[in-house]
Amino acid sequence: MSDRDAPGRGRPPEPREIEPAAPEEFGLTQVWWGDGKGKTTATLGMAFRAAGHGFRVHVLQFMKGGAASVEDVRGEYNAIRAIPGLSYENLGHYGWHAMNDGTDERDHAAEAEAGFERARELVDAAAAADLSTPFALDSDPDDGMHMLVFDEILYAADRELVDPEAVVDLIESAPDDLELVLSGSHERPDYLVEAADLVTNVRKEKHPIDAGQRARKGTEY
């Protein structure tokens, strides 16, 4: 019996080369919120999965950046760069608004507003593109994409750095075939529940941060 045939060892299918493709059933709006760990992890997991099928995916991060205990370059940035068809932008919010995280307060409202305008540009770009066709894996996100992830945008809305109703308007203006994924906030985004197709509450039962554990490289960043 070979090692691969031994108990507990599956037969993984051979991975295929990633080639540009277009999804057949995209077009939903997903919302991930809650006080538990894993919202960004889940949304990035979907981004990697979609990119693995050759779909064009772009991630726009609000608020999240470096802090006294977190390096500027998070592990996901390096991984995204290595995946064809997946790209990201970080809006430069180094630290968290209204939180004692060891960073100096900056003009978060102005940065969030500029970031939201960028989000509008990306949605408009998708609306102007033909989402039923593949995009080159190295194409500019301004040429359109099949999945757009707005990481931590719900935190920005929760803190009124962006208008929650403007977030709803943004969703409603998106083209039918664009998959939108929004994450962030410990508070339930009631303003989004009706507009969204999927709403997931990531709940905390126990978290080491409550016992003083700081963010760890490779798990939190």
Please give the residue that has the higher pLDDT: either 87 or 210.
Answer: 87
**Residue 211 in tokens:** 């016992």
In a domain, 184, yes or no: yes
| Average model confidence (pLDDT) across the chain | 86
In a domain, 6, yes or no: no
For position 64, what pLDDT does the model report? 62
Q: At 200, is the secondary structure helix, strand, or coil?
A: strand
For position 220, what pLDDT does the model report? 73
Lowest mean pLDDT among 75-79, 151-155, 161-165: 75-79
Write out pLDDT tens, residues 55-64: 999 999 987 6
- Assess whether pLDDT exceeds 70 at residue 163: yes
Please give the residue that has the higher pLDDT: either 221 or 199.
Answer: 199
**Residue 110 contacts residue 18 (beta carbons within 8 Å):** no
In a domain, 13, yes or no: no
In a domain, 38, yes or no: yes
Mean pLDDT score, 100-125 = 77
Cα distance between residue 221 and residue 66, in whole Å: 9
For position 207, what pLDDT does the model report? 82
Number of domains forming the structure of the chain: 1
In a domain, 217, yes or no: no
In which region does residue 202 sit, left (phi positive, over 0), alpha (psi from -120 to 50) or beta (all else)? Answer: beta
Write out pLDDT tens, residues 4-30: 666 667 778 888 999 999 999 999 999
Mean pLDDT score, 191-197 = 96
In a domain, 74, yes or no: yes
Cα distance between residue 46 and residue 144, in whole Å: 18
Q: Place 216 in a pLDDT band, splitting at 50, 70 and 90.
A: confident
In a domain, 10, yes or no: no
List the domain range (segments joined by +) for residue 107: 26-211
For the domain that residue 176 is a member of, what is the CATH number? Answer: 3.40.50.300
**Residue 145 contacts residue 115 (beta carbons within 8 Å):** no
For position 106, what pLDDT does the model report? 56
In a domain, 11, yes or no: no
